[in-house]
Amino acid sequence: MRVTLVVPCFNEVEVLARFHDAVSRELKATSEPYEIIYVDDGSRDGTLDAILGIAAADHAVRYLSFSRNFGKESAMLAGLRHAGGDAVILMDADLQHPPELISRMLELHARGFDQVVAKRTRAGVPAGQRIAARTYYWLINRWADVELVDGVGDFRLISRRAVDGLLKLEEYNRFSKGLFAWIGFESVVFEYENVQRETGKSRWTFRKLFEYGLDGLLSFNNKPLRVAIYFGLGLTAIAVLYAIWVVGVAATQGVKMPGYVTLIAAIVGLGGIQMVMLGVIGEYIGRIYYETKHRPHYLIKESNLTPPGVVIGGAATSTYKLESRDQNRLDRLDRTD
């Protein structure tokens, strides 16, 4: 069985060498043939040079480098597309995903599981974040069409057929957590102790997390649109009842002073609801807009990839690609001069 490790990297120069040593040790210990695909997601800190150094010294390393930062989802997609292994392991470069778990994953995969998922505990995470996460997952699991589990991220082993399934989902807005759940197959989840990031800092800001959360809510269902319909129906019913009551009062007791406050409250309240609903509709339209453009998920600047599944851990890859890579590097040197 061949194993492919897919590693998205964005500004990870500080840990990359250590990461590579650690995972190589683990992979060699399993005595399965393997390859490691490093996907440089447009790093600006010399990550690519570090990868080039690693690739020159280790034939099991393949890499590709994006023309700019396209995001982790795109980086994972690129890695999966080029993975030649019978089992593919997705792993972060920042050593937050313990390399020791690789053998455990392979063991579980050998027992027939198509997705082996490492679930981190929330140890060491501030209480506020923990509560926010729990609320979010409670909410999303009531809404979304797929089930998402708290603490389950992208650290997982995926079998060949599950990878092929994932690659059939070609949507532009990729929400991996949902996609993994959508494809199904036999899955098993095991827990590991959460590891704090050693160097650098997480790319997640509060805003990004919030937007990611919205993505999750919107990517896998159209229930927010339903909510608009329910709201509309409810309000219409209330308005009809209110009108009947007003007419009834006017007929029996004559017209009284109009309620100014009620009027303003109704206008502002309804205006707010309409804005929110328009926003929800706009979100979906925005998604449709991006999907219809059919843009690629990423552009590759350079790589040493052969067609997937050709050489694994073998001799150096085809030379024309190496040449174009060197040319690329020369160009870059020219520009900095």
- Binding-site ranges for ligand UDP (CB under 6 A): 8-10, 12, 41, 69, 71-72, 75, 92-94, 96, 202-204
Q: Considering the complex, state which of residue 199 and residue 327 has its C-beta at the smaller distance from Mg ion.
A: 199
Q: Give start and end residues of each alpha helix (H) in the chain.
A: 13-30, 47-57, 72-82, 101-110, 127-143, 160-168, 176-183, 206-219, 223-253, 260-293, 319-336
Q: Considering the complex, state which of residue 41 and residue 92 has its C-beta at the smaller distance from Mg ion.
A: 92
Q: Which stretch binds Mg ion (CB under 5 A): 88-96, 98-106, 233-241, 315-323?
A: 88-96
DSSP codes of every residue in 111-153: TT-SEEEEEE--TTS-HHHHHHHHHHHHHHHHHSSS---TTEE
Q: Which stretch binds Mg ion (CB under 5 A): 94-102, 167-175, 185-193, 206-214?
A: 94-102
Strands 187-192 and 87-90: what pairing? Answer: unpaired
In the complex, least distance from residue 176 CB atom to ligand UDP, rounded to whole angstroms: 11
In the complex, least distance from residue 219 CB atom to ligand UDP, rounded to whole angstroms: 18
Q: Considering the complex, state which of residue 8 and residue 84 has its C-beta at the smaller distance from ligand UDP.
A: 8
Residue 101: both structure tokens together:
């778990």
| Phi, psi (rounded to 5 degrees) for 318 | -50, 145
Residue 290: both structure tokens together:
């991006």
Q: Which of ligand UDP, Mg ion, none lies near 73, with the C-beta cut-off 5 to 8 A by kind?
A: none
Q: Is 96 in the site for Mg ion (CB under 5 A)?
A: yes
Q: Which of ligand UDP, Mg ion, none lies near 75, with the C-beta cut-off 5 to 8 A by kind?
A: ligand UDP
Give the residue among 149, 200, 139, 203 at the shortest CA–CA distance from 178: 149
In the complex, least distance from residue 21 CB atom to ligand UDP, rounded to whole angstroms: 16
In the complex, least distance from residue 199 CB atom to ligand UDP, rounded to whole angstroms: 11
CA distance 15 to 208: 24
Number of residues in the chain: 337
Q: Is 94 in the site for Mg ion (CB under 5 A)?
A: yes
Q: Is 306 in the site for Mg ion (CB under 5 A)?
A: no
Binding site for Mg ion (CB under 5 A): 92, 94, 96
